[in-house]
Structure 1
Amino acid sequence: MSTRIPAGLARFNSADGDEAGRVLREVCTSAAWAAALIAGRPYASTEALLDASDTAMRELTADDLREAMAGHPPIGRPKPGDPVSAREQRGMAGASEQLKAELLELNLAYQEKFGHVFLICATGATGEQMRDAARARLANPAEREREIVRTELGKINRIRLTRLAEGDPS
């Protein structure tokens, strides 16, 4: 039984190394993560690509995680003109000014404590859910928070890679 490889995955598998790297940096800005995924090509299925991403995420060092997080805007402030950022943070689109102010305050407190943006897989989450998560996660020790960030980043990467493999450019 043969399995059809999705068009986006076929393009990724056949892209030269520079192009594959450029595409992956739009998914995640960790060079180590991208290098691991490039080295694993070709992928027979979207699930194989996602599994490789999960493995690469588990192997990222603290410095690699910082590099990956640097590519993410703060919650409530998507990158201007970036449809991916806007789509992922859609839950903040109708947020009240009070909620936006609360989240900004929490973002600043989080960044002060942990040294990086508050990272959460925002797809499908409401502004209130993101605020509550930021509030709760401020109580975490740094080691616990680093592993939560790794998990959240893995979720984001899986969503973005699935869109890439299925050929959805946005």
Structure 2
Amino acid sequence: MKSISLVIISILLLNSCKNKNDEAQKPTDNVEEISYASVGKEILKDDAITSSAMASHYKTMKIGDSIDTKMIAKVTDVCQAKGCWMTLNLEDGNEVMVKFKDYGFFVPKDIAGKEVIINGKAFVNEVPVEELRHYAEDAGKSKEEIAQITESKKTYSFEADGVLIKQ
């Protein structure tokens, strides 16, 4: 009788240990989901290239060249009049000027410093003095700073059809 009780207790102990082991081996789902606010065309966050990879692409492009792409970068500046353009940091000392396709949507004016994912067409452009002054005015630059703009500038540009703003 003692041996039967001992066998039953042993089986129960082994069985309880087995369940604990199974639970210990289950992966935990503590992955934090990042949320994004979407403006413009609905896009997915997948397959976006880094801003430093995009900088490499821009360096090989000439004025007039363009590529369809999706990139992730930090916002450095936003139009304070309407949110009708923004600049993004390329992490190599350069920035990219982003406008929105067909002037069809705007971004919030308070997103400087936030991470965004943009989808659309990257291209190299030569921006005339008048347009550069207009952007400086939209950015809230002083009259003295605006007056110092006297030459056109080769810029990295992007026409976005959709933007995801990290929340």
TM-score, normalisation: structure 1: 0.22
User: Which of structures 1 and 2 has the bigger CA Rg?
Assistant: 2
The structure richer in strand per residue is: 2
Going by fraction, where is helix more abundant, 1 or 2? 1
